Structure 1
Amino acid sequence: MNGIKTIDWQAWIANISLIILFREAALWIMTQLHFPELGNLTGLLALLLVLSIWRKFRPISLRLIDSNNKIMRESAFAFLPVCAGSLITLVHMGKEIPLFLVVLVVSTLIPLWVYAKMAKRWL
């Protein structure tokens, strides 16, 4: 099997299980606090915090990192329908487009950029 890439199913299942576990636990906690819309963000930050603490004492498995990279690359296609819907909305907005773009940059791109910098530095 030289040259043939195989899927590391144990790493994929572990990675997806971690993501689901943290997301669902955070969603449940935030629902109890009457802020269910913050569940995804709280789960993401909790996972980042746990992985950062874990990295202080032990290295993160290369298998887990590799499967995470593949998941991130493949999940980008899930956003294509959202992009098409956004484009249709932009066409109908007219003069409100500049304000919409400012809100989009402030609420989406800046937090993602900060998260990427934090992940790159601490993980």
Structure 2
Amino acid sequence: MDWIKTLDWKAWAGTIALIIIFREASVWLMGQFNHPELGNLVGLISLLIVLSLWRKFNKISVRLVDTNNKIMKESAFAFLPISAGSLLMLKHLGEEMPIFLVVLFISTLIPLWVYAKMSKKWL
């Protein structure tokens, strides 16, 4: 139980609050465009962009990095919003599902094929 005493509660609360705020704001924003199912994806991408821009001009707090590493290592918490958003998006596609699957297949297959060719040539 010593880990409870040494846990950086403020960093944990701040990191989780940051994730929740970005997610909820993105769900609300995408709801304004009648696509709330894309909110999780938009939230994840916007958080990534904001943190990347922040890192370019300032240093990201070591406390935030450590807390994020623990979240990523210890649980699937960071992946739940994007998984839920993907499932909701697939549910709402309806008749567009075959087109989406073709685009997904091609956009996955071509980069993998190019990567395999590059690996075969350079490795």
> By the TM > 0.5 criterion, same fold?
yes
- Alpha-carbon RMSD across the aligned residues, in angstroms, is 2.3
Matched with 1:35 is: 35
Partner of 2:13: 13
Gaps of 5+ in 2: 81-100, 109-123
Name the counterpart of 2:70: 70
Question: Is 1:61 the equivalent of 2:49?
Answer: no
Normalised by the length of structure 1, the TM-score is 0.58
**How far, CA to CA, are the matches of 1:14 and 1:22 in structure 2?**
12
Residue 56 of structure 1: CA displacement? 1.1
CA–CA distance in 2 between the matches of 1:27 and 1:76?
20
Give the alignment of 1:1-123 within 5 angstroms: 5=3, 6-76=6-76
Name structure 1 gaps, 5 residues minimum. Answer: 80-102, 111-123
Shift of residue 76, structure 1, vs aligned partner: 2.8
Q: Distance in 1 between matches of 2:64 and 2:48?
A: 14
Opposite residue 32 of structure 1, the aligned amino acid is Q
How many correspondences in the alignment? 80
- The percent identity for this pair of structures is 59
